[in-house]
Amino acid sequence: MKRLRAVNDGIEKAESLLLVIIVVLMIALSFSQVVLRNFFSWGFSWGDVGLRNMVLWVGFIGASVATKQDRHITIDALTKFLSPAWKAIANCLTSFFSFALSLVFIYASVAFIRTEYQAGGIAFLGIPFWEVQLIIPVGFGLMGLRFLIKVIEDIDCLRTRLKNSS
């Protein structure tokens, strides 16, 4: 379990660094686009498309970090009324359902990437759309990994609660 947490923490550090780099690049690119357009009537032809795709990357990497930190969107109105044991069971089921849903989204996004690959479009700077959009299945994969780790932690927590209650 400690090794799994260490790997998870390492992935989060890499994601956080990547987020900082991409956001700094986005700010620099958008600022330079404004300056170039307003003062020189010129800009990078790929700038707007590049920024849109960077937003996609920030969104998926940010969602993965939020999932790791357990800060994703949750609906927990009913769990507030459950006993600690039932709440642990509900958390385990929710994490498992989220993991299963991530697998479905990975499958769908891989199919989407295949379609983009066959279409052969170019995003910007000669980079094909399918390569830029690889963050979609990778992002869902990272979120799925985080939910799987949460399932394992929830099962461990549930076992501890059941041991202590008996």
Q: How many angstroms separate the CA atoms of 90 and 78, rounded? A: 10
Contact (CB, 8 A) for 133 and 113: yes
> Residue 124, SS3?
strand
- 20 Cβ partners below 8 Å, 6+ apart? none
pLDDT greater than 80 at residue 14: yes
- The CA-to-CA distance between both ends of the chain, in Å, stands at 24
pLDDT at 115: 95
Q: How many angstroms separate the CA atoms of 105 and 86, rounded? A: 28
pLDDT greater than 90 at residue 20: yes
pLDDT at 166: 63
List % helix, strand, coil for the chain (3-state, nearest 5).
80, 5, 15
> Residue 127, SS3?
strand
Q: Tokens for 56?
A: 């996609």
pLDDT greater than 90 at residue 163: no
pTM of the model: 0.88
- pLDDT tens column, 107-152: 999 999 999 999 988 888 889 999 999 999 999 999 999 999 999 9
pLDDT at 34: 94
DSSP symbol at 83: -
Q: Which residue has the higher pLDDT, 21 or 163?
A: 21
Average pLDDT, the chain: 91
Q: How many angstroms separate the CA atoms of 94 and 115, rounded? A: 32
DSSP symbol at 81: G
Q: Tokens for 103?
A: 């697998």
